[in-house]
Structure 1
């Protein structure tokens, strides 16, 4: 089972492809990582140093995979941080190319645009690209609460508004929405939640919120990738949600124990595969 991942990469730390490749490989998934940028480290350490690759570079790499005739083995395409809408167009070209080779392949779009504390941290043309082109092309979208509001205009304050926002996003084209970083009025104190919504049902999972200061970068990248990998096994959204919550919580626990600002992926590798603490996804709609 191969996943084509098109997103950023760093030499030091764990964001983008550097956050998702090892965990997916530890789960036995083959990862074809195509980098949109190659930085020394993420912006949390200061202005990123390294090249931003062109849209043509992305197209050339995917064309090479096509010529090797391996794309029928690709079960999904995952996209994350995009430096510019031109790179996004190259991602959508890759999605079309893969789906031509394997019509059952899924496209999972992590619409990375910002978060509550920093606000929007992408170029001005990215939000419109996400709403008008990327989300309609996606089978799965994995926004955080800030990004869901940015895409739909619906402020998320509780389960009802979260469901409304996710259903508004479903109306744009995806078949499934994974909403992360949910802390609404009904969230148990000291917890954080994730919500999965399809046209048929919705499930919620709650996990203890660990004190991580500063919060590690790359958590959203990891969450989207793990959910996609688990969902591909049997396409059961509730089971994938519960497994994702357990694996991410295990990584956060290892990160807290290590006292590092980077995700402790090596320390948590066995728990990613077999988490010691499990969580139940309950149906809410």
Structure 2
């Protein structure tokens, strides 16, 4: 399997492609990483250095890949955080080129905008760009519960209302939706959930809530789910494998007391997930 991953890059820590590429490689995926920024560290530190790459430079890299004649081998295009609004056009153009070369290829979009605790943390034009132009072109989207609400102009809270919001998102274009950080009011205290919905049904998985913020964990989640689902077509299995791997990555990082994900140290959890959480079909 080959995935063209168009995301940010950091020298220190693990977000964007710096979070997604290694776990994908560890499960046997060939990744073609294309960078949209190259920062010293993620912006959560409040200070960083390095360039936000110009859209034409990102496009040039993709054109160079196309000139090698490999776009027809791409099974999926993956995108995440978009540093500037011009990158959206580059990504959509890349998706069109890949699908022209390989009609079976899919586009998985992680519509990164923010979260319920801190609100939106991207440039003001990005949320509308994602909602109006990028998400409708995607086959898979992986929003958190907050982002799902923004995309669909709804308030997903209960399982029922979250499923209704997912239906609204799927009506925009994507056939598959993975909702992360689902926090239902009626869930057991100290838990958190992920929900996957496809044309074949809906499945939910519940894990203990690990009490810390881990930048990059959503990037790992989107990457692993996309790869597992693209490989097998089994959403329940992809959800189980992704949840197991990401939970153990987060637990290992939390136990270490480190701020940055222990991405390399946790590699066996990607290659051999423990499958310790039950996935329940809810529709």
- Give TM class, smaller chain: over 0.9
Q: How far apart are the structure 1 equivalents of 2:103 and 2:252?
A: 38
Alpha carbons 2:245, 2:274 under 8 Å: kept = no
Alignment gaps of 5+ in structure 1: none
> 3-state SS of the aligned residue for 1:69?
coil
> 3-state SS of the aligned residue for 2:50?
coil
Alpha carbons 1:14, 1:263 under 8 Å: kept = yes
What residue is the counterpart of 2:217 in the other structure? 219
Alpha carbons 2:221, 2:242 under 8 Å: kept = yes
What is the TM-score with the length of structure 1 in the denominator? 0.97
Q: How far apart are the structure 1 equivalents of 2:93 and 2:176?
A: 21
Alpha carbons 2:34, 2:61 under 8 Å: kept = yes
Return the offset for 1:188. Answer: 2.1
Return the offset for 1:199. Answer: 3.2
Q: How far apart are the structure 1 equivalents of 2:258 and 2:214?
A: 8
What residue is the counterpart of 1:281 in the other structure? 279
Q: How far apart are the structure 2 equivalents of 1:186 and 1:205?
A: 15
Alpha carbons 2:166, 2:197 under 8 Å: kept = yes
Return the offset for 1:157. Answer: 1.3
Q: RMSD in angstroms over aligned alpha carbons?
A: 1.0
Superimposed CA distance per residue, residues 25-65 of structure 1 (whole angstroms, 9 cap, x where no aligned partner): 11111111101000000112222210011111111111111
Return the offset for 1:277. Answer: 5.0
Matched, 1:92 2:99: no
What residue is the counterpart of 1:29 in the other structure? 29
Q: How far apart are the structure 2 equivalents of 1:9 and 1:278?
A: 31
What residue is the counterpart of 1:114 in the other structure? 114
What is the TM-score with the length of structure 2 in the denominator? 0.98
1:1-285 equivalences under 5 Å are 1-212=1-212, 215-285=213-283
Return the offset for 1:276. Answer: 3.0
Q: How far apart are the structure 2 equivalents of 1:271 and 1:92?
A: 32
> 3-state SS of the aligned residue for 2:75?
strand
| Number of equivalent positions | 283
Superimposed CA distance per residue, residues 115-142 of structure 1 (whole angstroms, 9 cap, x where no aligned partner): 1111111111111111111111000000
User: Which 4+ runs in 1 deviate beyond 2 A?
Assistant: none
> 3-state SS of the aligned residue for 1:221?
helix
Alignment gaps of 5+ in structure 2: none
Q: How far apart are the structure 2 equivalents of 1:188 and 1:195?
A: 16
